């Protein structure tokens, strides 16, 4: 994209989510002075960190012209698997590695089915979500399982240079993903899948393998999110991931990644995640019940999608012959 020299042109390149973020900060500060306190902001960031991790994976899937609605189920299953492994006496390091390998494989299976059969990804990942959350329910018979390990508190509460650990984890994941996406062949293939899959095939790249890797990465990041979540709730809970798949897709879409043509990126997703976290936090501070929150966030997402599509339509200037 060529940089426009005019002020107006530069304004246009700033994604809408930035203005939404700015205006919501201003509005919420006006409504509640507590909102701008440092401790509150730290809370917001800590709350946002695990969502950012899973959303990055979902963003990359969306960029490759797929969609991943299985992350919620994967997160639930991760908490249950991890705690179960620890209860069985498997050492911490192994438990983490095995859990993350399993979630990556779940993602890989998603990708394989999507790529091999050219099956709509939303139905594959919805089905997978049903399977994984079902397995989590069977493993725990529907209730939470508890275990305590000092690492939980390290993941949730410790700080390095006064930066809380969840934020550091999210930042590391973001940096690695950024490098993967913009500095490696993996990233080029992601954008290729989104933009021009035929060219990839002609270029001798195994499409199935690259789609599998994209979904697998999303599974891995959902697994990491599940680990952070399990540390926070100090238990394995078969329904702890419910709704996360939606938040992740929501943050991605609000962040400006669109379903077509591999537009957008993980930078916008940070803003999308922050916006969701700020709205949730502010509604809590102001005292709006969680019931209104889900309706509000659902409406916002729909609005964001509609605005995105609307502007794309105007830009494309497509003329539809219609009776």
Partner 1 sequence: MNTIMKKLKNSQGLFSLLGLLLLVVVSSLSSDRFLRFDNIITILRQSSILLILSVGLTGVVLTRGVDLSISAMAAFVGCTSAQLLKAGVPIPIVFIVGIIIGGIIGLFNGFLVGRLRLPPFVATYGTMMVVNGFSLIMMQGAVIYGLPENFAWYGVGYIGFLPVPVVIAAAVVAFFIVLLKNTTFGREIYLIGSNYNVALYSAVPVRKRIYTMYAICGMTAGLAGLILTARLNAAEVAMGDTFGLQTVAAVVIGGTSLLGGEGGPLGTVIGALILTIVVNIMNLLGVSSYAQPVVIGVVIISTVYLDVVSKQKRVN
Of 1, 88, 161, 291, the one binding partner 1 by CB under 8 A: 291
Tell me the closest approach of the beta carbon of residue 300 to partner 1, in angstroms: 10
**Is residue 120 involved in binding partner 1 (CB under 8 A)?**
yes
Question: How many of the chain's residues bind partner 1 (CB under 8 A)?
Answer: 45
**Is residue 288 involved in binding partner 1 (CB under 8 A)?**
no
Tell me the closest approach of the beta carbon of residue 323 to partner 1, in angstroms: 5
Token digits of residue 239 = 């329904």
**Is residue 203 involved in binding partner 1 (CB under 8 A)?**
no
Tell me the closest approach of the beta carbon of residue 302 to partner 1, in angstroms: 4
Residues of span 64-83 touching partner 1 by CB under 8 A: 67, 69
Tell me the closest approach of the beta carbon of residue 253 to partner 1, in angstroms: 8
Of 94, 179, 309, 311, the one binding partner 1 by CB under 8 A: 309
Q: Which is nearer to partner 1, 3 or 318 (CB)?
A: 318
Separation CA 67–CA 122 (nearest Å)? 6
DSSP conformation letters of 227-286: HHHHHHHTEE-TTTTTTHHHHHHHHHHHTT--SSTT---HHHHHHHHHHHHHHHHHHHHH
Separation CA 270–CA 250 (nearest Å)? 12
Closest alpha carbon to 80 in 243, 221, 235: 235
Separation CA 145–CA 4 (nearest Å)? 56
Tell me the closest approach of the beta carbon of residue 301 to partner 1, in angstroms: 6
The one-character DSSP state at 2 is P
**Is residue 302 involved in binding partner 1 (CB under 8 A)?**
yes
Of 17, 60, 113, 200, the one binding partner 1 by CB under 8 A: 113
Residues of span 8-37 touching partner 1 by CB under 8 A: none
**Is residue 286 involved in binding partner 1 (CB under 8 A)?**
no
Reduce the secondary structure of 135-177 to three states and give it as a string.
HHHHHHCCCCEECCCHHHHHHHHCEECCEEHHHHHHHHHHHHH
**Is residue 124 involved in binding partner 1 (CB under 8 A)?**
yes
Of 36, 92, 123, 199, the one binding partner 1 by CB under 8 A: 123
Q: Which is nearer to partner 1, 118 or 162 (CB)?
A: 118
DSSP-based three-state secondary structure for 271: helix
Which run of H or of E encompasses 294?
helix 290-316
Reduce the secondary structure of 48-91 to three states and give it as a string.
HHHHHHHHHHHHHHHHCCCCCCCHHHHHHHHHHHHHHHHHCCCC
Residues of span 126-155 touching partner 1 by CB under 8 A: 126-131, 133-135, 137-138, 141-142
Contact 192/20 with Cβ under 8 angstroms? no
**Is residue 299 involved in binding partner 1 (CB under 8 A)?**
yes
Token digits of residue 222 = 């959902």
Separation CA 75–CA 78 (nearest Å)? 5
Vertex 249: Cα angle to 280 and 275 (nearest 5): 30
Residues in the chain: 323
Part in contact with partner 1 (CB under 8 A); list of ranges 90-98, 151-159, 225-233, 305-313: 305-313
Q: Which is nearer to partner 1, 176 or 313 (CB)?
A: 313
Token pair 């390990």 is found at: 149
Q: Which is nearer to partner 1, 165 or 245 (CB)?
A: 245
Tell me the closest approach of the beta carbon of residue 184 to partner 1, in angstroms: 29
Using CB under 8 A as the criterion, which residues of the chain lie in contact with partner 1 when the complex forms?
Answer: 67, 69, 113, 117-120, 122-124, 126-131, 133-135, 137-138, 141-142, 246, 249, 259, 291-292, 294-299, 301-302, 305-306, 309-310, 313, 320-323
């Amino acid at each position: 994209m060529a940089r426009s020299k005019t002020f107006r042109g530069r304004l246009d390149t700033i994604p809408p989510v930035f203005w939404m973020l700015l205006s919501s900060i201003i509005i919420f500060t006006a409504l509640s002075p507590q909102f701008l306190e440092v401790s509150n902001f730290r809370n917001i960031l800590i709350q946002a960190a695990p969502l950012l991790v899973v959303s990055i994976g979902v963003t990359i899937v969306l960029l490759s012209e797929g969609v991943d609605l299985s992350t919620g189920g994967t997160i639930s299953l991760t908490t249950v698997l991890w705690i179960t492994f620890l209860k069985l006496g498997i050492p911490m390091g192994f438990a983490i590695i095995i859990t993350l390998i399993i979630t990556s494989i779940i993602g890989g299976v998603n990708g394989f089915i999507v790529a091999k059969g050219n099956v709509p990804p939303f139905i594959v990942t919805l089905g997978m979500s049903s399977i994984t959350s079902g397995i989590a329910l069977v493993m725990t018979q529907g209730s939470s399982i508890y275990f305590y390990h000092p690492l939980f508190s390290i993941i949730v509460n410790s700080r390095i240079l006064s930066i809380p650990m969840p934020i550091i984890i999210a930042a590391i994941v973001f940096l690695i993903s950024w490098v993967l996406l913009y500095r490696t062949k993996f990233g080029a293939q992601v954008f290729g899948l989104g933009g021009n899959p035929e060219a990839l095939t002609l270029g001798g790249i195994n499409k199935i393998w690259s789609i599998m890797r994209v979904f697998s990465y999303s599974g891995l990041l959902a697994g990491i999110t599940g680990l952070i979540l399990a540390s926070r709730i100090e238990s394995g809970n078969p329904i702890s991931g419910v709704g996360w798949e939606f938040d992740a897709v929501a943050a991605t879409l609000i962040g400006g990644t669109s379903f077509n043509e591999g537009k957008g990126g993980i930078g916008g997703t940070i803003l999308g995640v922050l916006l969701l976290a700020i709205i949730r936090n502010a509604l809590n501070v102001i005292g709006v019940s969680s019931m209104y929150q889900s309706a509000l966030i659902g409406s916002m997402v729909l609005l964001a999608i509609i605005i995105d599509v609307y502007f794309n339509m105007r830009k494309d200037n497509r003329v539809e012959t219609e009776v």
